[in-house]
Structure 1
C-alpha cells in the first residue's frame, strides 16, 4: 500500500515538473573539441565511405566514428582561411580575417570582446578553455573564459608547461593527454552547472610526435601516393627560394617522396590516433556522469593538410585537401542519429551555431550562420558558395590567394599574378587535376565564377588588410616572390 502511495507521489511530482517546464528549452552543455591540421578524410568513417579510392584505409578512429554514427556528419565543411591562427580566430568571433585582425600566425587577437565564449558567459554558462590557443604567442588567462589551462604558441608535445589561468605550471606526458585530463576534471567539477568546454588539441601539427603508445602503430602500413601528386601548383618554379622547396613538396614523381616524408605521415596519423582515444575519454566521462543526453559534442579542425597532393606538403593553398575539414555534431536530446549533410558549412558558422544551441541571439558582428536549422531541416536560402582568402605570410612560399568555391566548382586567383589563375569543375574533376582557366571549355564557367567571386567579396566586405604581411619589394619597388620555408 505504502509503495503504491510513494509511486503515485513520484508520478505526481514528475507530472508537475513536466508541466512547469512545458514550453521551456533546457540549455545544453557544449563541448567543442578541435584538432590542428586534420584533413577532412582523416577519419575512418570517411575512409570507409571512399572505398577503393581511400588513401588511408588502415586508419581507425572508432570514437570519432561513434560521434558520426550517433550524431550528424557534415561532408562539406570548409575553412575560409587555411592557417592556424586565422582559422582559430574565426572560430571564436565568426569574422573573416580581413576584418578581425588576424591574417597570419604571428599576430595576437586584439579584439576578443565579442566571441562565442563572451556571449555564452553572459548567458550564464561556465566557460573553460583547454589546450592550444595559438594567437601568436599570447600568454595569460584566455579571454572570455572563466577558466583556462592552455599553453603558449605551439607549445610542445611532451612535458609542455601549462598556464592555468595565466600561471605557468609544469606537466608530464603527451600534451593532448594532459589537456584532456584537465578538461575532464573540469567537467566533473562542474557537472551540476551548465558549461561550455573548448578542448583544442596540438595534434596533428608538425613536427608530428604521437604519444609513445602510438609511435609504432602505423610503422608497417602501406602508404599510397596521391592520384593528383603530379598536378603542380602554378607558382612552383616561380619562387626564388635559393634552396629545396621542402615546405611545398612531398611529390613521389618529383623525387622527394622520401623515407623521411613517409615517416611524417605515419607520425601524423599516430598523433591523430591519440586524439581519437582522448575523444573517447571525454565521451565516457559524459556517459558516466549522465550528461551525455543533454550535452552537444562538436568535433572539428582548424584546417586541412597536404601529403603530396599537387606536390604540396603544408596547407594555405586553396585546394580541397587544405580547405576541407571534419565536422561532427552529437546532441542525443535533439538531433538525429547518423545524419549526413552535404550543404556547405564553414568555420565561420561555429560561433553562431553554439549560441543558437544555447538559445542566445548571435551578435550583429558575426558573419556566419547557424547550422542548427540544417540539421533540423528548417534552413532557408542556405549558401551555395563562399569566399576563401589567404594573405602572404613572411617566410612562407604561398602567395596571397583569393578564391571562390561553389558546390561543384572553384576559381583560384593570385592577385598580381594572373598567369597563375586556376579554374576547376569539381563535379568532373574532384582532384583538381585539369585547370580550365585558359581553355575554351572553361570560358562560361570562368565568367560565372568571376561574377560570383565579386558578389562574395562585396557580401563580406573584402579588403587586403593593412595588418597582413606586406609583399616583399626590391630596391626598385618591384615585387619579389616570397621565399619558401624549409621544413627540417
Structure 2
C-alpha cells in the first residue's frame, strides 16, 4: 500500500531554516542525529532476539533497519536509565543530570532547567539544532528551548492527526504522528544538508495506548506469545498497598497469566515499533541519497524500558531490568568500527556528554554523566561498574519511591520507609530476578557489599529527596495508601 506522508509547506520553513545558518560545512565535525523511542525494551530489537536464541520472548519481531545501525556501528548491551519514567528520563538526556537535582521527578512537571543542555552547548559551537516529535516535559508548549527549530506536540499528543507546534505555532497534521515527525525531520535535513546540524527525533511509539500505523494493524496476528519466567512473582509492594479499590479489570490476571490477559496490547506495541523501524529506514535511506551517511552520527535509544508481565507488572517505574534497561545503537562510519559490542554499563546520563564529545565541545561542569566515545575507541579508563537508580512516587500510580544500586553482577532495591519490601538479586546466577536473597543467609555477603555501594553512589551523585517530588500518601500507621490506576492505558 502506498504511503502518503504529510509534508510541511516549504514556505513556512524557509525563514526558520535560514536563521543563524553556518556558512559551509566543517567536515571535521559530524552531523548528529539523536533518535529515541518511548518505552522500548532493551530486547525489542530483532538482533537481540536472535542473540537470545531459545530464551527470546519475541523471536517473530523484526527490525531490519535498527539491526543495520548495529551491524554498521556499535551496540551497547548494558545501557540503562537512572529513572524509568518518560519526563525524568528525557530531561536527563537533555541536561545530563540526575532527577533529584534537575527539577523533574514525575510526568506532570515542566522542565525549567534548560539553560545548559546538549542543544544549547552544541548550538554555541555553530551547529544548526532542531527538535522533532515528543518533548513531554509535563504539557509544555512553545518552541523547544536550545533548538533553532522545533516541530513538536504537546504532552503525550495522539497517534493520529496530532496537532504539531511549529516553533510554538499550532498546525494540524494528517496521519500517524511518528510518520509525520519523521517526514518533518527529513525535510529539515534536506534543507540543511550543506550545513552542520544536530537533529533530535523523539518518537511517541511505543507509549500506550498502543496504536500502530494502519499498514501494520494486522501484523503478528499469528505470533505465539511467550510468558516471562517471572510472571507469577509479584513485586513485594503489590499486595501490601491498601488501595481501597479493586484493581481494574485489565490489571487482573486471567487464569494466572498476565500475558494472556494483555495479548492484543503486546501485539500492538510491537506493531507500533515496526512503524518506528520503517521510519529509521527512511532516515538512513535519505542520508545515503544525500551522501551524508559517512560523516553523520546516528544514535538510537529509548527513554526507558517496559514490562510485559514480568513480576506481574505492566508499565515501567520499578527497578527490574525490563524497566530500566534500554537499547543503545551508534553508527558513525567515518570514525567508529562496524559490529562492535560493548558490555560496560552506560546510562542515559551519558547521552548529553557523548553528543558534545562527538562535536568536539567541552562538557559543562553541571553534567553528571560521561561520554561513551572513549569506550567505543578503547580509550576509556576507570569506567563505572555500578550506578544509582532512583524513582519518586508519582500520583496516582502504585509504585513507591525507590532507591537501588545496579552493578555488573548484582542489584539491591530499597523502598524508603518500607524495609520489609527490600530486594536483592545475584544477576550472574539469576538474571531474571526471580530469587530475592535479601532475607536469606546466602545473600548476607552480597547485601553488605551492595549496601556500601549504594551509599557510595548516593554520595557520588549528591542524592537528596527532592522537594518537587509528589508527597507520599500514607495512612495513620505511616504505610503507603493510594488509589490504583491501570498501568497500560
Asked whether the two chains share a fold, i.e. TM above 0.5, the reply is: yes
Q: Confirm or deny: 8 A CA contact 2:82 2:324 kept in the other structure.
A: yes
Aligned to 1:325: 326
Task: Find the aligned partners of 2:284 and 2:403 in 1 and give their Cα distance.
Answer: 39
**Quick one: structure 1 residues 127 and 416, their matched pair in 2 at CA, closer, same or farther if it must change by over 3 Å?**
same
Conserved? CA contact 1:355–1:362, under 8 Å = yes
| 1:59-458 mapped onto 2 (5 Å cutoff) | 59-246=61-248, 249=251, 254-259=256-261, 261-458=262-459
Once residues 318 and 202 of structure 2 are traced to their aligned partners in structure 1, the CA distance between those partners, rounded to angstroms, is 23
Residue matched to 2:460: 459
Q: CA deviation at 1:239?
A: 1.4
Q: Which residue of 1 aligns with 2:42?
A: 40
CA displacement at 1:222 relative to structure 2: 0.8
Q: Does the 8 Å contact 2:258/2:312 carry over to 1?
A: no
Larger Rg: 1
Secondary structure of 1:441's aligned partner:
helix
- Cα deviation per residue 1:321-355 (whole Å; 9 max; x = unaligned)? 00000000000000000000000000000000000
The answer as to 2:474 corresponding to 1:468 is no
**Runs (4+) off by over 6 Å:** none
Assess, with a 3 A threshold, how the Cα gap between structure 1 residues 423 and 333 changes in structure 2: closer, same or farther. same
CA deviations 1:124-145 (Å, max 9, x no partner) are 0000000000000000000000
Please report how far the alpha carbon of residue 447 of structure 1 lies from its aligned counterpart in structure 2 after TM superposition.
0.2
Pair 413,249 (structure 1): closer, same or farther in 2 beyond 3 Å:
farther
Give the distance between the partners of 1:350 and 1:281, measured in 2 at CA: 23
Deviation of 1:255 (Å): 4.9
TM-score, normalised by the number of residues in structure 1: 0.93
The TM-score with structure 2 as length reference comes to: 0.93
Question: What's 2:16 paired with?
Answer: none
Equivalent residue number for residue 3 of structure 1: none
Give 5+ residue unaligned stretches, structure 1: 1-23
Whether the aligned pair in 2 keeps the contact of 1:238 and 1:481 (CA below 8 Å) is no
Secondary structure of 1:45's partner? helix
Provide the C-alpha distance between the structure 1 equivalents of 2:172 and 2:66, rounded to a whole number of angstroms. Answer: 30
- Secondary structure of 2:115's counterpart equals coil
C-alpha distance after superposition, 1:294-342 (max 9, x if no partner) = 0000000000000000000110000000000000000000000000000
Distance 1:256 1:286, change over 3 A: closer
Measured in 1, the distance between the counterparts of 2:204 and 2:255 equals 31
C-alpha deviation, 1:283, in angstroms:
0.3
Decide whether the 8 Å contact of 1:123 with 1:360 is kept in 2: yes
Partner in structure 2 of residue 483 of structure 1: 483
**Corresponding residue SS for 1:150:** strand
Residue-by-residue CA offset, 1:170-206 (whole Å, 9 max, x unaligned): 0000000000000000000000000000000000000
Give the deviation of 1:478 after TM superposition: 3.4
1:482: Cα distance to partner?
2.7
